[in-house]
């Protein structure tokens, strides 16, 4: 990153700590512990402001002091991204955890960044509504963290990505400014699209303090089905048949594993009569394949990839491919893993977004991940490594930055010229 940095490394002098304590309170400023490490880098202090004004002031003081600030929500993604080049202060949004306005008649909600997804969904459910989003670890993941990581699951097929659901945001910028963009209405024609810019920026442009979302009604009933397919080709044909049919499916995913036949999961929402009709149509499309009603737990398969027993021999990656190339991509993964005697497991959404777990020797994990990244990038895809064992040789988390990188650097320079926020963790070392 070309942004200006202090000429000497900054330290957290006692005078700076006392300044924080004076307006935050001693109980909200503490030394960090091992659990606060960011991709193996240990910050010095954690600060938990009580409101967005306090948060903006902490950020301003840190920026002026030349400190590197790591925004944090529920801490579910501390291992994501590249190791920060500097890490002095963790700025926690844990105390900014309220739903400030639920305009249920307009299907919008304004919520603070530290509110967990589960808490938000429970509040919305009281009015028969939901944020149509299924991120990882919703009981711990916060609104700000999910937005920063742009984490969405299988519901994306029906309701769109986070950038389609967010309609307003407030960011604390490094100079202490609280910048808001968007609004409380579903259609907004403001100029600079700060909500979409902040989504997926990995906390490198500003600290999200609150957000406004469009909402959807809770479904009356839901039903999930699993279709057993024998080969990758059969899986591809069935997924395409579902996508090209008149079925009103909400989610569609494939589950793949070394040595096991693929499975396809389909989610329907609606009335009981409508669900029965959908089931009958699904069975016709499945032809000779077995169709069984499944538990809603199948939609946690992506999260289940993180439940491994040997952290020292597993790596996890997110990949993006063309939906039409799911079969080819699974064959590519199977070949790469098989060559190096790695075990593998993948969950792939019909949108072409998938998650992969590889298990085996640390050096072979790195070779396979790099090989897969190069192959996917040649076909306009990508592969992001979100977890690797300590013994695995270093690999860049993000891969190729693409043609948009100069613009990304320019925006970073504009909003965070001193490289205060999450330095080095994002694409291209931003």
Average pLDDT for 38-49: 96
Beta-bridge mates of residue 221: 270
Q: How far apart are CA 32 and CA 38, in angstroms?
A: 11
pLDDT of residue 419: 97
Average pLDDT for 152-173: 95
pLDDT of residue 13: 72
**All domains of the chain in start order, with CATH:** 14-94+411-425 (3.30.43.10), 99-217 (3.30.465.10), 221-303 (3.30.70.3450), 305-387 (3.30.70.1130)
> For 89-122, how does the pLDDT look when each residue is reduced to its tens digit (9 = 90+)?
999 999 999 999 999 999 999 999 999 999 999 9
Cβ atoms within 10 Å, residue 11: 11
Query: In angstroms, how far is the first alpha carbon of the chain from the final one?
Result: 5
pLDDT of residue 187: 43
pLDDT band per the 50, 70, 90 thresholds, residue 1 = very low
Q: How far apart are CA 386 and CA 80, in angstroms?
A: 5
The pTM is what?
Answer: 0.93
pLDDT above 90 covers a percentage of the chain that reads 89
Selection from 192, 93, 244 nearest residue 415 by Cα: 192
Q: How far apart are CA 352 and CA 328, in angstroms?
A: 12
**DSSP element (H, E) containing 320:** strand 314-320
Query: How do beta strands 216-217 and 249-257 pair?
Result: unpaired
pLDDT band per the 50, 70, 90 thresholds, residue 289 = confident
Q: How far apart are CA 71 and CA 203, in angstroms?
A: 6
> For 63-97, how does the pLDDT look when each residue is reduced to its tens digit (9 = 90+)?
999 999 999 999 999 999 999 999 999 999 999 99
Selection from 34, 86, 49 nearest residue 65 by Cα: 86
Q: How far apart are CA 43 and CA 48, in angstroms?
A: 14
Beta-bridge mates of residue 168: 182, 212
Cβ within 8 Å of residue 70, ≥6 positions away: 38, 43, 84, 87, 89, 90, 91, 203, 422
pLDDT of residue 7: 36
DSSP helix/strand/coil, 9? coil
> For 199-213, how does the pLDDT look when each residue is reduced to its tens digit (9 = 90+)?
999 999 999 999 999
Q: Encoding tokens for residue 247?
A: 């079925």
Flag whether pLDDT at 38 surpasses 80. Answer: yes
Distance of CA 150 to the CA centre of its chain: 4
pLDDT of residue 234: 92
Cα–Cα distance list, 193 to 180, 181, 216, 422 (Å): 10, 7, 22, 22
Average pLDDT for 320-341: 96
Cα–Cα distance list, 215 to 107, 108, 174, 212 (Å): 5, 5, 31, 10
What DSSP designation does 138 have? T
């Amino acid at each position: 990153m070309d942004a200006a940095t202090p000429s000497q490394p900054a330290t957290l002098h006692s005078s700076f700590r006392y300044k924080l304590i004076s307006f935050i309170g001693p109980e909200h400023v503490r030394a960090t512990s091992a659990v606060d490490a960011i991709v193996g880098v240990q910050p010095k202090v954690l600060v938990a402001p009580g409101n967005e004004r306090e948060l903006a002031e902490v950020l301003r003081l840190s920026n002026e002091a030349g400190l590197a600030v790591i925004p944090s929500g529920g801490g579910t993604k501390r291992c994501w991204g590249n190791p920060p080049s500097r890490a002095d202060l963790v700025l926690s949004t844990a105390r900014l955890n309220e739903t400030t306005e639920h305009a249920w008649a307009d299907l919008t909600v304004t919520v603070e960044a530290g509110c967990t997804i589960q808490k938000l969904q429970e509040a919305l459910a009281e009015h028969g509504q939901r944020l149509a989003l299924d991120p990882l670890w919703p009981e711990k993941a916060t609104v700000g963290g999910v937005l920063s990581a742009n984490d969405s699951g299988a519901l994306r097929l029906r309701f769109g990505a986070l950038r389609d659901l967010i309609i307003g945001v407030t960011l604390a910028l490094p100079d202490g400014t609280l910048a808001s963009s968007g609004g409380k209405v579903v259609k907004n024609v403001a100029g600079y699209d700060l909500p979409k810019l902040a989504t997926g920026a990995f906390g490198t442009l500003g600290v999200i303090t609150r957000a406004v979302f469009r909402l959807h009604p809770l479904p009356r009933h839901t039903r999930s089905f699993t279709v057993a397919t024998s080969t990758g080709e059969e899986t591809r044909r069935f997924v395409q048949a579902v996508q090209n049919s008149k079925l009103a499916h909400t989610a569609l995913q494939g589950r793949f594993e070394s040595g096991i036949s693929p499975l396809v999961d389909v989610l329907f929402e609606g009335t009981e009569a409508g669900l029965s009709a959908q089931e009958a149509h699904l069975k016709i499309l499945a032809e000779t394949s077995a169709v069984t009603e499944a538990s809603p737990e199948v939609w946690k398969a992506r999260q289940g990839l993180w439940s491994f027993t040997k952290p020292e021999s597993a790596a996890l990656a997110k990949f993006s491919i063309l939906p039409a190339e799911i079969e080819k991509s699974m064959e590519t993964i199977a070949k790469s893993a098989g060559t190096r005697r790695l075990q593998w497991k993948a969950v792939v959404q019909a949108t072409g977004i998938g998650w992969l777990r590889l298990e085996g020797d640390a050096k072979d994990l790195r070779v396979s991940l790099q090989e897969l990244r190069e192959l996917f990038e040649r076909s306009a895809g990508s592969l992001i490594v979100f977890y690797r064992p300590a013994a695995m040789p270093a690999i860049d988390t993000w891969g190729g930055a693409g043609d948009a990188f100069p613009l990304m650097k320019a925006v970073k320079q504009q909003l965070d010229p001193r490289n205060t926020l999450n330095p080095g963790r994002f694409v291209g070392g931003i």
